[in-house]
Chains A and B, each alone.
Chain A
Amino acid sequence: MLFSDENVAAYINENFEPAWQSVRPVPTVTIDFGNGKIVKRTLHGNVATYVCNDDGTVLDVLPGIYQPRTYLDRLGQLQLLYRYVQQETALIADPAGALHEYHASAAAALSKNEPYKIAEVEFDRPSIVRIEKSVKIVLNPADRIQARLQAAKGIRTEPTSIAAPKSSAELPHWRALATDTEINETQRRLLIHQHLLETGKTTPDELKKWLYKEVLHADLDDPYLGLGSILFDAYPFAEEDQG
């Protein structure tokens, strides 16, 4: 759904080097009604978007599925982060320190339930500008700056009036997706910032097991993806099934 969106696809194609990776087969559930009618659905899928350096170092992660506009906005933020890290690397050769500063500020803001944004700020000038050199990228929790950034990019909160979407075109306005997006941006990203603050430099392969287990609640080492207790605890024939 997300990558079929024209705006999202065009933005990614223009600003990123994209690749996708499967971490394991997706569990599906098939219900055979016995009259020729068979319904198949995904049981417990989950996704994560990593933004990385050219050496594969993880800069940040967007956990789970997002509404398209919010996803675009966050990708824009992570693109700024990438530039900030590149700049710091070129100037002081300390990308780790720059990343540490970013994750510490973001974790602190989210811990206090404060939103945060990365803004490009010209040296010795507090106004927001978009130039290619002599800028410092800072975390700025000010609502005013966020509003201006959003207005500049044409990003607004997605209308979320649809309780039960009837087609894929209605999915961006699905209320459940809006709720999930909000949880991603608050609870899940807080966990990620705190973890990256502790681990420092890491790669997607090193991070994925922790991410899927602790943040997305899908334990990749568990054949039942952490759903075993739900499936078997109150089921008298559990041993036969697991046989």
Chain B
Amino acid sequence: MRKLRYFTVALLICGAASLVNSVPMAGQQTAWGDEPIVDIRPDPRAAVAELDVAKGRIEKPLKRALVLQQAVEAPAVQPEPKTNIEKPVVEKPPVEKPADRGKAIIELGAKRLVQLSAEELQAKLTAVVNQAKPAVSTGGDAKPSNDATRETPFSKERIVDSDSENPRVEPGKVHWHDDFAAACQASRQSGKPVLLFQLLGQLDQRFT
């Protein structure tokens, strides 16, 4: 009876082994048809994703270890008792900031303008405009100063000249007369015709 049992078990094991060997792998063609076998085993990538979940398990104990280490290294800090007593105010020494000179110049000028009467204001503005006016109708001596800054009617204040945004350049290699009248005068002496070059802007500035 016992032998019969052993025989039956052995027979079952052999059958199962032959059955496993006869099953094709995923993607292989079966002996009985053209349809490929679909692999229904769990995706190994899912297993990796599951591993990601385990990240927390790794980090948690690590964090605990770090916290413990910091607690050991840091001196024990006594928590401040909560009271209603105000802290004494400690006066800090004043920090000197660099003077905002540009702003001051603008504001100072504006303040003075506000204090002026309408007539005084008009006179001041006219003076500024006349001083800032480019040398129209001239070719030389009346051209504006080459200095990037100039004195204004506001005594010691200095403003940046707009020329700094339009730099000076050499007006070519021509020997220009100062203006049209000077060229006419020279023409009377030399007998050469006058050439007058008119343009928008200034020939001795970059943007013309």
Q: Which residues of A contact B (CB under 8 A)?
A: 2-6, 8-10, 12-13, 15-28, 40-42, 44-56, 59, 75, 78-79, 82, 86, 204, 208, 218
Contact of A13 with B193 in the complex, beta carbons under 8 Å: no
In the complex, what residues of A have CB within 8 A of residue B195's CB?
A: 12, 16-19, 49-52, 75
| Nearest-CB residue, chain B, relative to A225 | B200
In the complex, what residues of A have CB within 8 A of residue B134's CB?
A: 22, 25
Q: Using A9-B173, A21-B179, A40-B165 as known contacts, say yes or no to A28 and B207 having CB atoms under 8 A apart.
A: yes
Encode contact with A along B152-194: 1 for CB under 8 Å, 0 otherwise: 0000000000000110001111111111101110111011111
Smallest CB separation, B39 vs chain A (Å): 56
Q: Is the interface of A mostly helix, strand, loop or mixed?
A: mixed
CA distance A25 to B166 in the complex (A): 11
Q: Beyond A3-B203, A52-B194: 18 further Cβ-contacts under 8 Å?
A: A2-B172, A8-B174, A13-B173, A17-B183, A17-B192, A19-B182, A20-B203, A21-B180, A21-B197, A22-B201, A25-B201, A27-B200, A40-B207, A54-B187, A54-B194, A59-B193, A82-B193, A218-B200
Contact of A19 with B197 in the complex, beta carbons under 8 Å: yes
Count of A-B contacts judged by CB separation below 8 Å? 168
- Interface size classification for chain B: 35 or more
Q: Using A4-B172, A13-B175, A19-B182 as known contacts, say yes or no to A50 and B201 having CB atoms under 8 A apart.
A: no
Interface presence of B137 (CB below 8 A): yes
| Nearest-CB residue, chain A, relative to B196 | A50
Contact of A50 with B199 in the complex, beta carbons under 8 Å: no
Contact of A45 with B178 in the complex, beta carbons under 8 Å: no
